Every structure is written in structure tokens, then in C-alpha cells.
């Protein structure tokens, strides 16, 4: 039970939190550089693939069973943000 809760926290909550932070920073960066915006879904679930483009077989095998593209980056960013926020809150309470 505790393992399932920890898996949910790391995979879902930290992934979503990290995707939100990366999307916000990416949107600001792309606005400054005048590049096209990347949709939030791509930060959360990975790049949108054309299902009819079968020219590169490596693209089809890129996804793991449980993890989406860049989910490890999202989890690290979300975890660092969560630890930093926890540190600030604890520091204010002491």
C-alpha cells in the first residue's frame, strides 16, 4: 500500500509539477526567442507523434511501459521544487 502511494506521488504528482515548471519556463524562453510555443501536453506526455510516419523504428520503441517521454526530467524538477518549497516552509515555521 505504501509503495503504491509513493509510486503515485513520484510518477504522477512530481511529473505534473515538473511539467508545469518546465512548460512555464519554456513558454517564457520561447516568447523571448520568438520561437513557436510547445503545448503543455508535450511537456507532460512527450512529443506528439505522427502515427502514420513509420520511417523511423526507433521512435516507436522510445517510450517505456509506464513512463512518458521526459518524465524523468519532470520528476527531478518537480522533486527539487517540492523539496525547496518544503525547506522554505519549515524555515518559516522555526
User: What are 29's three cell numbers?
Assistant: 524562453
Query: What average pLDDT values come out for the chain (94 residues) when binned by 10 residues?
Result: 82 87 92 90 76 51 48 84 93 90
Report helix angle 71-93 to 14-33, nearest 10.
100
What pLDDT shows up at residue 14?
85
What pLDDT shows up at residue 89?
95
What pLDDT shows up at residue 87?
94
What pLDDT shows up at residue 69?
55
φ/ψ of 86, rounded to 5, equals -65, -40
What pLDDT shows up at residue 52?
55
Amino acid at each position: 500500500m505504501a509503495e503504491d502511494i509513493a509510486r503515485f506521488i513520484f510518477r504522477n504528482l512530481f511529473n505534473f509539477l515538473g511539467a508545469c515548471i518546465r512548460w512555464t519556463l519554456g513558454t517564457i524562453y520561447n516568447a523571448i526567442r520568438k520561437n513557436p510555443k510547445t503545448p503543455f501536453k508535450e511537456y507532460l506526455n512527450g512529443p506528439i507523434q505522427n502515427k502514420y510516419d513509420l520511417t523511423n523504428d526507433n521512435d516507436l520503441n522510445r517510450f517505456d511501459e509506464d513512463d512518458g517521454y521526459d518524465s524523468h526530467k519532470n520528476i527531478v524538477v518537480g522533486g527539487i521544487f517540492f523539496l525547496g518549497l518544503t525547506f522554505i516552509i519549515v524555515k518559516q515555521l522555526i
